[in-house]
Homo-oligomer: A and B are copies of this chain.
Amino acid sequence: MQTGVKTVQVRDVAESTVCVHPTAVCESQNVGGGTRIWAFAHVLDGAVIGQRCNIGDHVYVEGGARIGDRVTVKNRVMVWEGVTIEDAVFIGPGVIFTNDRYPRSRGLPEAVGRYGHKGTWLVTTMVRYGASIGAGAIILAGLTIGRYASIGAGAVVTRDVPDHRVVVGNPARGSCWACICGVPLDDNLCCPRCKRRFRLRADTLAAAE
Kindly list chain B residues whose C-beta atoms are within 8 Å of the C-beta of A178.
102
A182–chain B nearest beta-carbon distance, Å: 4
Assess whether A25 is interfacial by the CB under 8 Å rule: yes
Assess whether A93 is interfacial by the CB under 8 Å rule: yes
A22–chain B nearest beta-carbon distance, Å: 9
Q: Is B78's CB under 8 angstroms from A104's CB?
A: no
Q: Give the residue name and chain of the B residue nearest to A183 (CB).
A: B102
A205–chain B nearest beta-carbon distance, Å: 15
Kindly list chain B residues whose C-beta atoms are within 8 Å of the C-beta of A168.
171
A113–B8 CA distance with the chains assembled, in angstroms: 14
Instruction: Bits for A88-101, please: 1 = Cβ < 8 Å to B, else 0.
Output: 11101110111000
Kindly list chain B residues whose C-beta atoms are within 8 Å of the C-beta of A146.
none
Number of copies of chain A assembled together: 3
Q: Is A103's CB under 8 angstroms from B182's CB?
A: yes
Interface residues in A, total, Cβ within 8 A:
65
Q: Is A110's CB under 8 angstroms from B57's CB?
A: no
Assess whether A60 is interfacial by the CB under 8 Å rule: yes
Kindly list chain B residues whose C-beta atoms are within 8 Å of the C-beta of A94.
78, 94, 96, 138
Q: A: which residues have CB within 8 A of B?
A: 8, 10, 23, 25, 39-40, 42, 52-54, 57-58, 60, 69-72, 75-76, 78, 87-90, 92-94, 96-98, 102-112, 114, 130, 132, 134-136, 138, 140, 150, 153-154, 156, 168-171, 178, 180-184, 193-194
* 17 chain-A/chain-B pairs, Cβ below 8 angstroms: A8-B109, A10-B109, A58-B60, A58-B76, A60-B76, A69-B107, A70-B107, A75-B78, A90-B103, A90-B104, A92-B103, A94-B138, A98-B135, A98-B153, A103-B132, A110-B181, A114-B181
